[in-house]
Amino acid sequence: MLLLLLLALPLCAGIAVAVFGWTRVTSWFCVADAAAIGGLAVWLAVRVADGSTFHAAGGLLRADALSGFMVLLVAILTMLATSSAVGYVRAEIEHGHTTAAATRWYGALVMAFVATMLFALLAANVALMWVAIEGTTIVTAFLVGHRRTRASLEASWKYVIIGSVGIILAFLGTILLALAARHAGLTSAHSLDWEALTSAHARFDPGVVKLGAALLMLGYGTKVGLAPMHTWLPDAHSQAPAPVSALMSGVLLSVAFYAVLRWKVVIDGVLGIQFLRILLAGAGLLSLTVAALMMIAQRDYKRLLAYSSIEHMGLVAIAASVGTRLAIAALLLHVLAHGLAKGVAFVCSGEILLQEGTTEIASVRGLLARNPLLGGTFGFALIALLGMPPFGLFASEIAIARAGFSAGMGWVITIAFVILLVVVAAVVTHAQRMLLGPAPAGTETRTFATTAVPLVGGLLALAAIGVSIWPIEHLLNAAASVVAR
């Protein structure tokens, strides 16, 4: 019942916007709806934190600590995105970038997007999980192309084609795993059920599982944005409206990685940890390298943030390749902290774009002096993304490193952190040009309170989990033991 309500809530708000249009009332209704999703997510998180599992809708939906944790992340980013959208969409209309009809679509699709992500997290059936993740590409396609320029058209075309063509491989992988399950004695009703797959995997045919595992990693890896399947990501994330970029970068990539984690449990059970370890570590290091190289000479601050997402997903893949309980707990903390930091950073980037009318790094100067609140939050979000204390990513990166060294993967971690230093140098160079320096006279700007509150709140939450993970410690441990037993 709880799980069904969780799916119904965003759909209600989406329908409300579709019927009444994007108005003051409906935009605030979305915020209230997001808060309600947050409330339910906390309730779910508390109930699954002891390791228990819930089923609903005749076994169709299922929630354990891992899904509970991810639902919480989706809820937090939804609150950030809906509350910042109130001011953002109003300003877009004032600037003449969008129309009433387009905002109606915008609101309805954003809420549908949230519902699809929640469905992916709560689906008990691995094929339905795939259907939901493929569904996220479809509902976000028009959001990427929201501005209807040539560039956004190109971005949305690449996004849908590369996304769909890539992720369909994951479906083929799912079929092969189900075939292996059928021949290991599972009934056809159970061969796609995650719980049944994890309880019977010892008898699966290793040859078939290897082929299926490679396809699953290629498919979901595309959606996660791991190199070399990442080419769509910088285009899509830089063209989407800021609140949508926040959701796509902050949480959709992690939802796709959630699918990787679910499959990792099954695949490791058949092939041992080594098979996926090599694939994940390789993809992780390659993603880090590509992201670092592209960030050095980057001229566009939204693309800079997009490449930073590829970098962080690379790190997440490395944490998954380590695969111990400590590593998975660190991975989940990293996903949460990255979601918050990237969400705040993208919302800031939207505000900067509204003020400057361009996404070029070179044309933004003296931001701190001109708008201390916006410059400050953007600066702190970047500092957080670089893994500096006191923010959450510092804690998670240290934990990933510790887990890696104690699992004998010290060399991978060492290479990864050397690349991270390059990223730090690149981002600091770009950021100081944008933020520091005197303000040209008469260019001071202000930020809506509806945008400022979520930005500051997000940063405070990020600092809080960097200082102590005490409130989510049980949930984090329970979620980690779903993946690494």
Partner 1 sequence: MSDATYGQLLELAAAVALAASIVMLWRRSLEAIVRTLAVQAAAIAATSLLIGLHDALVAEIAIAALIVVVKAVLIPWLLMRLLRTTTDQRVAEPALNTAASLVIAAVLTLGAFGATASLVQLAGGEEGRLLPVGFAIVLIAYFGLVTRRNALTQIIGFLQLENGIALVALLASTGGSLLVELGTALDLLLAVLVLQVLIVRMQSKLGGLDLDHLQELRD
Binding site for partner 1 (CB under 8 A): 125, 127-128, 131, 134-135, 137-138, 141-142, 145, 148, 150-151, 153-158, 160-161, 164-165, 168, 171-172, 175-176, 178-180, 182-183, 188-189, 191-192, 205, 207-208, 211, 234-235, 238-239, 294, 297-299, 303
CB of 430 to partner 1, least distance (A): 14
Bridge partners, residue 123, by sequence: 61
Pick between residue 36 and residue 293 the one whose CB is nearest to partner 1: 293
CB of 320 to partner 1, least distance (A): 26
345: which residues sit within 8 A by CB, 6+ positions away?
Answer: 305, 308, 378, 381, 382, 385
Residues 19, 23: Cα–Cα separation, whole Å: 11
Instruction: Give the separation between CA 20 and CA 331, rounded to whole angstroms.
Output: 41
What CA–CA distance (Å, rounded) separates 53 from 44? 10
98: phi then psi, degrees, rounded to nearest 5: -145, 170
Q: Could you give the CA distance from residue 247 to residue 414 in angstroms, rounded to a whole number?
A: 31
- Of the candidates 443, 299, 444, 426, which has an alpha carbon nearest to the alpha carbon of residue 362? 299
Minimum CB–partner distance for residue 4 and partner 1 (Å): 16
* Beta carbon nearer to partner 1, 35 or 172: 172
CB of 423 to partner 1, least distance (A): 15
CB-nearer residue toward partner 1: 124 or 400: 124
Indicate the residue among 83 and 359 with the shorter CB distance to partner 1. Answer: 359
The least CB distance from residue 73 to partner 1, in Å, is: 24
- Quote the least distance from Cβ 407 to partner 1, whole Å: 30
CB of 288 to partner 1, least distance (A): 17
Given the complex with partner 1, which of 211 and 463 has the nearer CB atom? 211
Whichever of 277 and 303 has its CB closer to partner 1, that residue is 303
Of the pair 164, 445, the CB lying nearest partner 1 is at: 164
Nearest residue (CB) to partner 1, 72 versus 129: 129
Distances from the Cα of 212 to the Cα of 236, 253, 270, 286, 434, angstroms? 28, 21, 12, 22, 46
The least distance separating partner 1 from the CB of residue 188, rounded to whole angstroms, comes to: 5
CA–chain centroid gap for 155, Å, is: 19
